[in-house]
């Protein structure tokens, strides 16, 4: 239900924060969507596609590179549905479902023999598999199959279950594992099972004729030698053809907000309530990690600010995207930006996001 009629007054403080951040060049443009109890209370665009005065203005329906929100919206949703259908066991060993994973570096001197057999689906979802955060696989591999093989072969840096490290590599492997179980590529599965049922304007890959309507994320002088606009920012996902478990989704803030509202109303009509509760609850883990299954939870200092409840979950994306949900309040906050423009070095969004979330909670509670 659209209830954005009073958004300028109700969220004046939050809107002002975003306008000030644009003025201070934390990012050139942004889109914000806020839902409470399934009602869309705010949906607004701010700024422009780039810092140029003649750049297109951001509209509420502007489509963005969602970056690692892909992990939560696509890959985790696919895992939830396969779990509900009895096709995926969280504590199943990866080598049982994806035998090729055992063919990585297993030499005794590197400690790999035996470690790979210990990795479970739950460990991939909670980033505790021992796989590293990132590898520039695209420098040595090209094409989806070669990239998947390269990801499967990445050396574990710690024994599974002993270290928490956010890992793109783990989600590339997870994406392939889920595709093997489902018998189809994840863009096809998620389109049919998640995006279309919820009427979301979210998809892997944007048709070339629409690229100009997507804010650019980077002037890539090192790998692609061009401005990246309408194509996925992440180089590994790009080398995979734009469809990957860790990145690749594009969508608008209103659609991401509707996805959040689905989870906040117990998953209807996609998931069972107990599945949503299971996947969004902290799992515990090494070094006191509080990661959920495919989601993060607030741990101070958090990008969700200081006021989200302990029953909250969310995710960030490298390009400057975020989704945070507070199950206690029924609150979902989507912020999409291209803070990586023009070169990815700007980190000012880290100061903006916590203040924005605090302002939104204040506005909701004082309404």
Domains of the chain, earliest start first: 4-68+203-282+291-365 (3.40.710.10), 73-187 (3.40.710.10)
Distance CA 144, CA 242 (A): 9
Residues 6+ apart with CB under 8 A from 240: 143, 144, 147, 148, 172, 248
Distance CA 185, CA 1 (A): 33
Is 214 within 8 Å of 64 (Cβ atoms)? yes
Element (H, E) at 44: strand 39-47
Quote the distance between the C-alpha of residue 223 and its chain's center. 23
Distance CA 269, CA 217 (A): 33
Residue indicated by tokens 């804010």: 215
Quick one: DSSP state of residue 76?
Answer: I
pTM over 0.75: yes
- Token pair in block for residue 361: 């909670």
Question: Minimal CA–CA distance to 46: which of 70, 68, 69, 14?
Answer: 14
3-state secondary structure of 72: helix
Distance CA 111, CA 105 (A): 9
pLDDT in tens, the chain (367 residues): 777 889 999 999 999 999 999 999 999 999 999 999 999 999 999 999 999 999 999 999 999 999 999 999 999 999 999 999 999 999 999 999 999 999 876 555 556 778 999 999 999 999 999 999 999 999 999 899 999 999 999 999 999 999 999 999 999 999 999 999 999 999 999 999 999 999 999 999 999 999 999 999 999 999 999 999 999 999 999 999 999 999 999 999 999 999 999 999 999 999 999 999 999 999 977 776 789 999 999 998 999 999 999 999 999 999 999 999 999 999 999 999 999 999 999 999 999 999 999 999 999 998 6
Residues 6+ apart with CB under 8 A from 274: none
Element (H, E) at 227: strand 226-228
3-state secondary structure of 42: strand
296-302: long-range pairs with CB below 8 Å, 24+: 301/354, 302/354
Residue indicated by tokens 């989600």: 171
């Amino acid at each position: 239900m659209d209830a954005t009629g009073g958004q300028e007054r109700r969220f004046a403080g939050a809107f002002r924060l975003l306008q000030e951040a644009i003025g201070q060049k934390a990012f050139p443009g942004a889109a914000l969507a806020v839902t409470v109890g399934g009602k869309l209370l705010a949906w607004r665009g701010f700024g422009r596609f780039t810092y140029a005065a003649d750049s297109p203005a951001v509209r509420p329906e502007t489509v963005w590179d969602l970056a690692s929100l892909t992990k939560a919206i696509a890959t985790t949703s696919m895992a939830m549905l396969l779990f509900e259908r009895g096709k995926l066991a969280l504590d199943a060993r990866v080598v049982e479902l994806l035998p090729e994973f055992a063919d990585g570096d297993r030499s005794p001197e590197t400690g790999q023999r035996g470690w790979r057999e210990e990795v479970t689906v739950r460990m991939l979802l909670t980033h505790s598999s021992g796989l590293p955060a990132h590898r520039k696989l695209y420098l040595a591999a090209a094409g989806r199959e070669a990239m998947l093989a390269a990801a499967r072969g990445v050396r574990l840096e710690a024994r599974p279950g002993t270290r928490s490290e956010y890992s793109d590599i783990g989600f590339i492997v997870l994406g392939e594992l889920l595709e093997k179980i489902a018998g189809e590529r994840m863009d096809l599965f998620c389109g049919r099972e998640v995006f279309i049922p919820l009427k979301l304007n979210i998809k892997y890959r944007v048709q070339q004729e629409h690229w100009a309507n997507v804010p650019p994320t980077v002037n890539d002088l090192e790998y692609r030698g061009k401005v990246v606009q309408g194509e996925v920012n992440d180089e590994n996902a790009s080398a995979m053809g734009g469809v990957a478990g860790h990145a690749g989704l594009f969508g608008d803030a209103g659609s991401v907000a509707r996805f959040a509202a689905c989870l906040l109303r117990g998953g209807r009509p996609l998931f069972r309530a107990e599945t949503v509760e299971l996947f969004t609850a902290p799992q515990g883990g090494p070094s006191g990690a509080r990661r959920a299954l495919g989601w993060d939870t607030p741990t101070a200092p958090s990008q969700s600010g200081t006021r989200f409840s302990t029953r909250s979950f969310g995710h960030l994306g490298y390009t400057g995207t975020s989704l945070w949900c507070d199950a206690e309040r029924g609150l979902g906050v989507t912020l999409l930006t291209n803070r990586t423009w023009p070169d990815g070095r700007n980190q000012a969004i880290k100061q903006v996001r916590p203040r924005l979330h605090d302002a939104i909670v204040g506005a909701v509670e004082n309404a």
